[in-house]
Chains A and B, each alone.
Chain A
Amino acid sequence: MAYPYVSNAEVRVISQYFGDPTHRRIDTYVKRGGYKALEKALALEPDAVTEEVKASGLRGRGGAGFPTGIKWSFMPKEPTRPHYLLCNADESEPGTFKDRELMRWDPHQLIEGCLIGAYAIRAQHVYIYCRGEFFEVNQILAKAVEDAYMKGYAGEDILGTGTTIDITVHQGAGAYICGEETGLMSSLEGDRGEPRVKPPFPAAVGVFGMPSTINNVETLAVVPHIILNGGEWYRQWGTEKSPGTKLFCVSGHVRKPGNYELPLGFPLIDLIDDVCGGIRDGNQLKAVIPGGSSVPLINAEDARKCELDYEGCVEVGTMLGCASVIVMDHKADLVKQIRRMVDFYAHESCGQCTPCREGSAWTARILRRIEEGQGTEEDLDTLMEMTEQMVGTTICVLSDSVAAPVQSSISKFREDYLELIRSGEQAGAA
């Protein structure tokens, strides 16, 4: 075994070469059929490329799950101003660690996807906004982009077709909110990463005031495979509404945490019990957050019913998000973990909108009070009421992300909170 991310259930489309250190080199990549999809795409009309991606049903892998081909088709067909493609590589959702692996094992796959995407939306410049903390990834990516320029896959007159597409790798500086699409644009322009009100949507007014499209690393990494093999080919996996494969990042109390590429619609319980070898130390499953810290958590009962696609997660009251499965066993300190997540959001709130800025800090304080045994049952009602007012009242969804774990944990694991409250009261009485 070369690498931890291996299971027989996997369908490795974009993660095929994880664990192969030679694959980062451009000559290996080309020898294995790399940049063939770019060649094929450049021979098509840009709209034909978009149509192929539409036919595949590929949905954005960053969390929202918006169909990629449709997003691309929002861009103006007759460019009168520069267009930009932005690649969101600011991976920072707690629980998510797929983009880092995609970039460090297979940087050219992403670059090829970026070039094809840029061609489809008639952009001449791609910015890859890479998370600041990823020094190693930035350097691997830098070397790969330099090589792509050197071999004529990027820059002017790509492969003699007359098409010009530049790539710039831009390193962030540490702010979760820059993973939000309009926050990323603000940051790329040299400003604080504060999200903007939509509309106008990026396809009309994006970065530098120009039409822009923003896609996640994983989304763009799939694109070369779709162009090469066709949209229908990609539909052989997954479900009707959620076609294809997806990287699942599993962390927490499982025996074999890691990235696993599986067809969408895969049962959550099989992912935990079979692919990841079950819960550590023979413990019992207590709760799962299936899509990164911003989505509601579910209990073991719902986890057994949950199918991992965009619709299946909604059925059990949560979301697929970016498929970052955080698993907690029965010994997990649930209230503490929820408080830790809320601390994170309070720290990362950009501070523009009052419900988020004040609400996240206030929520964190109440949770800390409960955790320390100073809480009352009334606090739970306050938390529910307060977080309700944090949903849909702000520019971006960071505020909603605070509400999701708090509300879902109080409604599904109220006993955990009550236990802390009661033990605090007993200690106080004694």
Chain B
Amino acid sequence: MSDVPLKNPGWAGNTGEFDLTEEQVRGEDFIGERPLHGGHSSVSATMPYMLIERNPEAELFEGEYQERFKKILTRYPKKRAALLPVLSMVQELRGHVSPESMDRVAELLDLSPAYVRGVATFYTMYNKRPVGRHLVQVCTNISCNLCGADEVLAAFLESTGTELGETSGDGDFTVIEAECLAACGFPTCVQINSRYFENVTPADVPEILEHLRGQAKEDG
């Protein structure tokens, strides 16, 4: 038996030792096709994407986002409960949650700005300041760490030429450490925007970055 651990097909081109494609593992019918208005109200609170392109000036909220906002409100007996999904929607649109955005959300949900600030700063997924088009989160918790996560993190920092938490000059990448991403069997797990890359080794890093740069060009 080989001593190389089996690979989960976590990202394009890396299909490991299985006969499943990446699309099959990730669900080709399910990913990236959710309507902006949120679909059925039962699941309207589930789709805060981290998008590559953002508009920090985007209106909160209009059009399909306004529709989704209204749907979210119908699912909770108290208006305040919509706070987390609404903050996530802000981030989807604007890329980060600024103090001004928080004030606007407070207005929309009849909460005090201080309260919203208190909640928004409690959760790690809300970016309190702008981040690169690709937010690279490397899990360095125990299971990944045992299998070399520190080297993967170092490789990302070196290849992007950034310091931890800082955004690269071209605005493409921000690399941060993440806590356990619940993919411990496939170390190292790296979350980049809304997607997981699994079984990442330092050698994979340049290829992943190239892949991402290509995406930014396509979308931009």
Contact = CB atoms under 8 A, between A and B. Distances in A.
A130 B42 CA distance: 13
Contacts of B5: 255-257, 280
A141 B46 contact: yes
Contacts of B125: 132-133, 172-174
Contacts of B118: 192
Interface in B134-151: 140-143, 145-147
A239 interface: no
Name the residue among A93, A190, A341, A347 with the largest chain B CB count within 10 angstroms.
A190
Contacts of A330: none
A96 B144 CA distance: 12
A51 interface: no
A171 interface: yes
A169 B145 CA distance: 32
A189 B80 contact: yes
A19 B20 contact: yes
A341 B47 contact: no
* Size bracket, chain A contacts: 35 or more
Contacts of B48: 132, 135, 171
A145 B39 CA distance: 11
A259 B185 contact: yes
| Dominant secondary structure of chain B at its interface with chain A | loop
Given A3-B18, A257-B186, A95 B142 contact: yes
Contacts of A24: 27, 29-30
Contacts of B81: 188-190, 208
Contacts of B185: 4, 97, 249-251, 257-259
A253 B84 contact: no
Given A141-B43, A190-B119, A255 B3 contact: yes
A99 B182 contact: yes
* Size bracket, chain B contacts: 35 or more
A207 to B, nearest CB: 9
Given A176-B179, A347-B179, A171 B80 contact: no
B88 interface: yes
B145 A337 contact: yes
Contacts, number: 236
Interface string A208-239: 10000000000000000000000000000000
B145 A340 contact: yes
A394 to B, nearest CB: 18
A168 B20 contact: no
A126 to B, nearest CB: 10
B30 A143 contact: yes
Nearest to B43: A142
A79 interface: no
A136 interface: yes
A145 B40 contact: yes
Given A190-B119, A277-B1, A135 B78 contact: no
B18 A169 contact: no
A2 B18 contact: yes
A411 interface: no
Interface in A146-205: 146, 149, 154, 166-176, 187-193
Contacts of B175: none
A141 B143 CA distance: 26
A93 B42 CA distance: 27
A252 interface: yes
A168 B184 contact: no
B152 interface: no
B142 A293 contact: yes
A326 B142 contact: yes
A280 B147 CA distance: 11
Nearest to A252: B146
B24 A21 contact: yes
A96 B126 CA distance: 23
B6 A174 contact: no
Name the residue among B47, B183, B184 with the largest chain A CB count within 10 angstroms.
B184
Contacts of B147: 252-253
Nearest to A280: B3
Contacts of B25: 21
Contact of A173 (B24, B88, B187, B191): B88
A348 B3 contact: no
Nearest to A327: B146
B195 interface: yes
Contact of A192 (B8, B26, B119): B119
Nearest to B83: A190
The 4 residue pairs across chains A and B that have the minimum distance between CB atoms: A174-B125, A190-B83, A142-B43, A135-B194
27 contacts: A21-B28, A94-B141, A94-B184, A96-B180, A133-B191, A135-B49, A138-B46, A139-B32, A139-B47, A141-B43, A143-B34, A149-B42, A167-B42, A168-B42, A168-B45, A171-B84, A172-B125, A175-B122, A188-B81, A208-B76, A249-B184, A251-B187, A256-B5, A258-B6, A277-B1, A341-B142, A350-B122
Interface of B: 1-3, 5-6, 8, 16-20, 24-32, 34, 39-40, 42-43, 45-50, 75-78, 80-85, 87-88, 109, 118-119, 122-126, 140-143, 145-147, 178-187, 191, 194-196
Interface of A: 1-4, 19, 21, 24-25, 82, 91-97, 99-100, 104, 130-136, 138-143, 145-146, 149, 154, 166-176, 187-193, 208, 249-253, 255-259, 277, 280-282, 289, 293, 324, 326, 328, 332, 336-337, 340-341, 344, 347-348, 350
Given A3-B18, A253-B147, A257-B187, 17 more contacts: A92-B180, A95-B184, A96-B184, A132-B123, A135-B50, A140-B31, A142-B46, A143-B29, A170-B45, A171-B84, A172-B125, A174-B123, A190-B84, A251-B143, A256-B6, A293-B141, A326-B146
